[in-house]
Amino acid sequence: MSGLTRVHVVVTGRVQGVFFRDSCRDRARTERVGGWIRNRDDGAVEAEFEGPPAAVERVVEWCRSGPPRARVDSVGVTEIPTIGDQRFRIL
């Protein structure tokens, strides 16, 4: 998977019930980034993004503010091995 990167992201704050997942899916698809996003039981949102490093970074940067109704307190980012994920979905 040369030239690709994959990251695991955990976003905390008011990020559920504010269209965070839908908006993130739209942003990831615009950037042609694969992966997934889901709500966690602890109120956080968790995602993995895979694609060209610059595109993945743009999606991560979007996560730092999220959609208009969100309030992001923190974004944890961990680089993980690529798996060839080309489409983005909500789990």
| Catalytic residue list | 21, 39
| Alpha carbons 5 and 21: distance in angstroms, whole number | 21
∠ CA 17-40-19, nearest 5°, is 25
Picking from 61, 63, 57, the residue whose alpha carbon sits closest to that of residue 37 is: 63
